[in-house]
Amino acid sequence: MIKSMTGFGSTEVSLGDYRHRLEVKSVNSKFCDVKVRIPNELTGLDIKIQQYVRSKIARGHVEIFVGREALTGTSGGSVSVNWDLAESYYKAYQSIRAKFGINQDASLAMVTNAREVITINRNEEDQETLWTHFREALDESFLSVIRMREAEGQVLAVDMAGRCNSLRETIGFIAKRAPQVVEAYRKRLKEKIQSVNDEELDAARLAQEVCYFADRCDITEELTRLKSHIQQFLNFLEQDEPVGRRLDFLVQEMNREANTIGSKSSSAEVSQAVVEIKSELEKLREQIQNVE
C-alpha cells in the first residue's frame, strides 16, 4: 500500500524537571529532508533525531519541533552569584560615575546584567536516558504521522487506479480506430486519383502507397508499451515500499509514447484521444508529487 508524504503527529513527555512537547510535520519533497528545531540544551540529540527520521521514511520534508518548559515545583537547576566579581563591577561603575561627574548611582540591573555575575547551573541530564525517552515520544508521534500518510496514500491509490482504467479505455478506442484510419486513407487516395485520371487505376501502385502510409502511422508498438506501463503502474500501487520515483518515471514514459502516437496520427479522433491521455497523465503526475 503506497503512502503519501503528508502527515502530522504530536506528543508530550516529562523527563526529569521538564515537560517536552514534540511536533512532527511531514510534507512532500523529492528527497528526505529533515529539519529539527530543538532547545540549545538538547542539541546533542539533533543527529540522533535526524537518523531516526530517515530510518522511518524515504521521502518527504519533515520538520520536528521540540518545546521545553520546567515542571511546576521544579527549578531545573540553580542560580549562583559571583560576589567578588559583582563587587568589582560595582566599584568600577562608581569610579566611572565619580570621574565623569555622573549624578547617578550604579543600579542593581547594571551589576546583575554584567557578564558572569549571575550563572545558571543546569541540572546534569544523562543523554542516553534522555534519548531513550525521546525515542519513545518520537515513536508515538510518528505513529500518527505514518497513519496519516497511509490513509492519504489509500485515497491517492484509488484515484490513480481509476485514472489508469480511464487511460486503458482511451487506448482501447485508439487501437480500434487505428485500422480504420488506414482504410479511410486508401479510399480518399483512390477517389482522388480517379478524380484526376480517367485511365484505369493502378491497383498495385495504390496498394504500395497505402502500405507506405500504414507503416508511417503504425502505432502498435506505442500502444503495447503504453499498456505495459499502465500495468506496471497498477502493480506498483500495491507495493508497500516507496514507489513515488518509479511512478513518476512511468508517467514520463507514458507521456513520451502518447506524444509519438499524436505525431504519427492523421486522424482528428485519435488526436483528440491523445489529448485526453495527456490530460490524465498530467493529473497522475500531480498526484505522484505527494507519493513517498
Q: Are residues 170 and 273 in contact, defined by beta-carbon separation less than 8 angstroms?
A: yes
Residue 251 has which C-alpha cell? Answer: 508517467
Question: How many angstroms separate the Cα of 221 from the Cα of each of 75, 180, 261, 281?
Answer: 75, 17, 10, 19
- pLDDT tens, residue order, the chain (292 aa): 899 999 999 998 887 778 889 999 999 998 999 999 998 878 888 999 999 999 999 999 999 999 988 776 555 567 788 888 888 888 888 888 887 877 777 777 777 888 888 876 665 567 788 888 889 889 999 999 999 999 999 999 999 999 999 999 999 988 887 766 555 555 555 555 555 555 555 566 556 655 555 545 667 788 889 999 999 999 999 988 899 999 999 999 999 999 988 877 767 788 889 999 999 999 999 999 999 9
Which cell numbers in the block locate residue 205? Answer: 501502385
Angle, CA 24 vertex, CA 26 and CA 154 arms, to 5°: 45
- Residues constituting the chain: 292
